[in-house]
Amino acid sequence: MAKPLPVSPLARPLPDLATIAGVRLSAVAAGIRYQGRTDLMLAEFVPGTVAAGVYTKNACPGAPVLWCRSALTTPYARALLVNAGNANVFTGRAGMQACEDCADATAQLLDCPPQDVFLASTGVIGEKLPQDRIIAALPAAKAGLSEDGWANAACAIMTTDTFPKAARRDVTIGGTPVRIQGIAKGSGMVAPDMATMLAYVATDARLPQDVLQSLLASGCAQSFNSITVDSDTSTSDMLMIFATGQADNPEIDDVSDPALAEFTLALNDLLLELALMVVRDGEGATKLVRIAVTGAESNFSAHRIALCIANSPLVKTAIAGEDANWGRVVMAVGKSGEPADRDRLSVAIGGTWIAKDGGVVENYDEAPVVAHMKGQEIEIAVDLGLGDGQARVWTCDLTHGYIDINGSYRS
């Protein structure tokens, strides 16, 4: 961008970040696209660290996504290298060669196999990744590795983000204290499968890969796959978790082990916090919107309807204009393709039911709804009256700022 973007009015400050035993991070300026800022993040993990990941379902994924999918065939990770400014997408054989070159160079520095190096790129699509700049910056990145490098790492992976995103939880597994900490980036091109961003979580817990993978997939469904900014699923989506095993908690071999219950709740909560920060930083966003759908024929149907509401430009622009135009919500329900009955449909905004069973509530007072629409956090509820299906989805409003940012993204 030619000039810095104003910080989102929905921004959240970085929390008090701590260290994760077995993890060191650094951030350096490689000059990949941006000038005068860090744009390359390196994380080093202690030998024996186990990794799991969830990646985009976009049919045109970036080379780093393909690399990581292949690398996950073995459970271990020694490094994570992430650059901002260039997505290394739609770059053909050159893109895969860039991944091989970066992984080889990182592996040589850290004395590990290349398949233990995970890669990610975010930024402009269709431009060859200048891997020589990345490789030239690796010695400085290694020299700068620090256990408390989390905040700098969160800044280095930003593109159109206006604030860095991180979250932390301290819990126990079988009485042993463990810590979970993560960073994320994301602002635009955000929609499920799996919602567009990069997110990296580390824990000192000792967990096998199959358990980690199950935890991550389940947590993603409730968080990153339940947010949308603009309905566009990125080519570079990636959510990974790294478990260093340094906490020496009791052995866990099943995701349903009662000793894992507190950890599971904390991980899900951390993932949702990171996901909502992505929505809070939606390009041009001024309002965070929560859409709750109940009474659908199934949870799947409820989720589809909630996303249809959340992705409607008419709903999102009405929210931006603080217009309690509930008719647009009805429209979005009806166009979803999911079962709905006009005469059973009910709609509420800010806790006030506007329409019930297919008609406007008698003596409906719009004043509290108008007041609610002026706030920064908007609640929309829909009950279809058909069954027990329910879902929650989060989105943001659609303002002219979205056009301003994306209309000049490459300039």
Q: Which residues are annotated as a binding site for substrate?
A: 159, 185, 196, 283, 406, 411
| Residue of 49, 106, 196, 235 marked active site | 196
Place of tokens 């408390």: 148
Q: Cα–chain-centroid distance for residue 302?
A: 21
Q: What angle do CA 352, 357, 363 make, to 5 degrees?
A: 50
- Cα–Cα distance, 158 to 138 (Å, whole number): 19
Longest pairwise C-alpha distance within the chain: 72
Q: List the binding residues.
A: 159, 185, 196, 283, 406, 411
Residue 353: strand pairing partners: 348
Q: Which strands, in side-by-side order, build the sheet including 23-28?
A: 23-28, 40-45, 79-86, 117-124
235 among known catalytic residues: no
The answer to whether 173 touches 257, Cβ cutoff 8 Å, is no
3-state secondary structure the chain: CCCCCCCCCCCCCCCCCCCCCCEEEEEECCCCCCCCCCCEEEEEECCCCEEEEEECCCCCCCHHHHHHHHHCCCCECCEEEEEEEECCCCCHHHHHHHHHHHHHHHHHHHCCCHHHEEEEEEEECCCCCCHHHHHHHHHHHHHCCECCCHHHHHHHCCCCCCCCEEEEEEEEECCEEEEEEEEEECCCCCCCCCCCCEEEEEECCCCCHHHHHHHHHHHHHHCHHHECCCCCCCCCCEEEEEECCCCCCCCCCCCCCHHHHHHHHHHHHHHHHHHHHHHHCCCCCCCEEEEEEEEECCHHHHHHHHHHHHHCHHHHHHHHCCCCCHHHHHHHHHHCCCCCCHHHCEEEECCEEEEECCEECCCCCCHHHHHHHCCCEEEEEEECCCCCEEEEEEEECCCHHHHHHHHCCCC
Active site residues: 196
